[in-house]
A and B are shown apart, each in its own frame.
Chain A
Amino acid sequence: MAWNEPGGNRNDNDPWGTGGGRGGNDQGPPDLDEALKKGLDKLNKLLGGKGNKSGGNGGPSSGGGSSAGGIGAILALAAIIFVGYVVFQSFYTVNEQERAVVLRFGEFSRTEPPGLRFKVPLIDNVNLVRVTSVRNTESTGQMLTQDENLVSVDLQVQYRVGDARAYVLNVRDSNQALAFATDSALRHEVGSSTLDDVLTEGRAELAVRVEQRLQTFLEEYGTGLSIVRVNVESTQPPDAVQDAFREVQRAREDEQQLKEEAETYRNKVVPEARGRAQRLTEEASAYKEEVIERARGETSRFLAVLGVYETAPEVTRERMYIQALEGVLSRTSKVLVDTQSSDNMMFLPLDRLTNRAGTGSDSQDNSGSGSSNIDIQTLSDQVVQELRGRQDSGVRRSR
């Protein structure tokens, strides 16, 4: 305690007495100052320097060190700065996004929510962890599927720190652990799916399964991280086979197109056939009605005539016969032949007649039969004359 002795006077002469009055904690430095002051005084005397005019405060301290006040001021300033620093160090703020994990003497003490917080300098160790912000990690690459194909998958994991204490204390490199676990979980799940699943409908499900698996890994490792969301950004066949995959897509469309073309054909053909079928039946129906009605008509006509005929058969019959033949003969060309008197061979140039008639009948449909009528008239006249001539000669011969 010998070095403490000069301190006894301190209260009287210490120029920074009030400034330095911070309780027993700071007792050491003033004692040290005292000792230094004395040393400096001696040094001044040896050098023969006069008392400093500035050192006019003339304290009762031994040796009357005139420069003691200046050094003391510097030291006091240093002490103030030091104290200020310590006080400043005792407070810290925790931002809204953060939690503070406080270790006291290395031991876990507490986690602090956002706000202005106090710590004991040198004793408490504060780790600020951003907990609310969502971070990203990605896993991409080519991987094997269950059916031994390769697929390129691009996966994004969004995560945040769920448990700040665990995040700080349990795992040395949580982010690396997460990256490894993501790779493992993704490839495991892709390895348990077929290529088609990964490329098409299975994608959403893949993300869910990766998320579950990843979360169990992270919990097992105690990383304190929690998964917000797992996105399977893209799943593609490897570049080397993309053409083949596109070709399949085209083939699918071709299939659809062929099918639709055929359906178009069906939609055309079947209704048309139904239409034609209806026409057929309608026509048949018409025919049936027509035939029946015609029969009814014809028979009622016949029956009417029959009724009359029965009252006077002979006369009616005669009349009908003559009337009918009149009708027939009035329309046709006639050649009269007296077969009884001419037993000789009679020659009729029928072929010529019919030829003429044939050429005539060709144009008969469109043009009126006027010209052919004349032809036939003259023709028949010729025939009649010819016949007469023959008859005459025949008659002459026979007689």
Chain B
Amino acid sequence: MGPKSIAGLAGALIVVLVALSSVYIIPETHRGVLLRFGELIQTDIEAGLHFKVPVIDQVREFDVRLLTTDLPSRQYLTIEKKPLDVDSYIAWKIRDVDQFYRATGGDEYRASELLMSRVDNGLRDEFGVRTMVEVVSGQRDELMIALTERVNETAQNEFGIRVVDIRVKAIEFPGQVSQNVYRRMATEREKLAQEFRSRGRELAEGIRADADRQRTIVLAEAFAKAEEMRGEGDAQAAQIYADAYGSDSEFYSFYRSLEAYQNTFANEDDIMVIDTDSEFLRYLKDPQGSR
């Protein structure tokens, strides 16, 4: 009885072990391949519970989720030979586990090394035919789409990898160039500041000149109007005088002269030297007024 049950125990253990090793689970995030003596006999095994022959069959499973690989910053030259430090990343995933296993031995690290060198070359080519402005702004999308397509094509065929996206994270100037850019920016700003100040002076001068012009015109117009009015007044007055005095011009001369005498000799400091023969003094010498 004793040995029997021990043997039974051992047998049960073996059965359990065999059962366990003939069952394997591939998680949803992975795909598997089945190898029998190193030979691929089943590929692209989907998620779920699967069976295999214990010991003989081996399962390799690969994470097929999207991976982002950071490409170290490299310097590329644009068509005008300007150096740019470019930092980029690759988004990729294993598409064909069979192909992937064959090409890389299932080593993700190796796979990303292979991808990186291709992307590096691709970027160098793409940058080399574009100007800096195109690379920085205008054609970023085009550049990346073209590059992604090209790399994707070879990666799919050769490594069983799908390159989802290649993106430039950062495009920067190398240190020395940055200094130049700072200087240029500062100069541009100085120029701008100067422009603002000069424009301010220009505007101010314009406004002052306009003000002065308005003042001059207003005053001149007023002067003209005033003179016109004075002239009208003078004319009307002259007309009135002419109308009145024209009726007896001889008497007017007399009348006006008398008035003028009174006005012109109005000052008490005036000294009159009068001939005693004058008409006024006719009676001074002779009551008869005879000469």
Contact = CB atoms under 8 A, between A and B. Distances in A.
B215 A238 contact: no
15 contacts: A4-B8, A38-B5, A103-B27, A106-B48, A143-B170, A150-B185, A184-B168, A259-B204, A280-B219, A294-B237, A299-B240, A306-B248, A335-B273, A337-B274, A361-B267
Contact of A251 (B165, B194, B228, B252): B194
A248 B268 CA distance: 77
A92 B257 CA distance: 134
Given A270-B211, A310-B248, 19 more contacts: A2-B5, A103-B28, A108-B47, A144-B171, A145-B137, A183-B169, A187-B168, A240-B186, A241-B182, A251-B194, A257-B200, A266-B210, A291-B236, A302-B244, A306-B255, A329-B272, A336-B273, A339-B275, A372-B269
Contact of A191 (B91, B136, B268): B136
Interface in B139-178: 140-141, 164-165, 167-173, 178
Contact of A325 (B4, B205, B261): B261
A69 interface: no
B3 to A, nearest CB: 10
A149 B132 CA distance: 12
B223 A280 contact: yes
Interface string B3-47: 011111100100000000000011111100000000000000011
A85 B182 CA distance: 67
Nearest to B276: A338
Nearest to B266: A331
B243 interface: yes
B265 A150 contact: no
B226 A244 contact: no
Interface stretch (B66-74, B98-106, B112-120, B122-130): B66-74
Interface string A147-173: 011100000000000000000111111
Interface residues of B, number: 119
A-B pairs, top 3 by smallest CB distance, nearest first, are A3-B8, A288-B233, A255-B200
B269 A364 contact: yes
B4 A269 contact: no
A172 B269 contact: no
Interface of A: 2-6, 28, 31-32, 34-35, 38-39, 42, 103, 105-108, 125, 141-146, 148-150, 168-173, 176-177, 180-181, 183-184, 187-188, 191-192, 195, 217, 220-223, 237-238, 240-241, 243-245, 247-248, 250-252, 254-259, 261-263, 265-266, 269-270, 272-274, 276-278, 280-281, 283-285, 287-292, 294-296, 298-300, 302-303, 305-306, 309-310, 313, 317, 320-322, 324-325, 327-329, 331-340, 348, 353, 357, 360-361, 364, 369, 372-373, 376, 380
A217 B165 contact: yes
B181 interface: yes
Contacts of B30: 106
Interface string B215-227: 1101101110111
Contact of A284 (B210, B229, B277): B229
Nearest to A309: B251
A360 B271 CA distance: 13
Contacts of B206: 262
B1 interface: yes
Contacts of A302: 244-245, 252, 255
Contacts of B203: 255, 258-259, 262
B269 A357 contact: yes
A284 B133 contact: no
B121 interface: no
B107 interface: no
Interface centre among A39, A106, A222, A290, by most chain B C-beta atoms within 10 angstroms, is A106
A248 B165 CA distance: 42
A294 B264 CA distance: 19
Interface string B189-207: 1101111110111011111
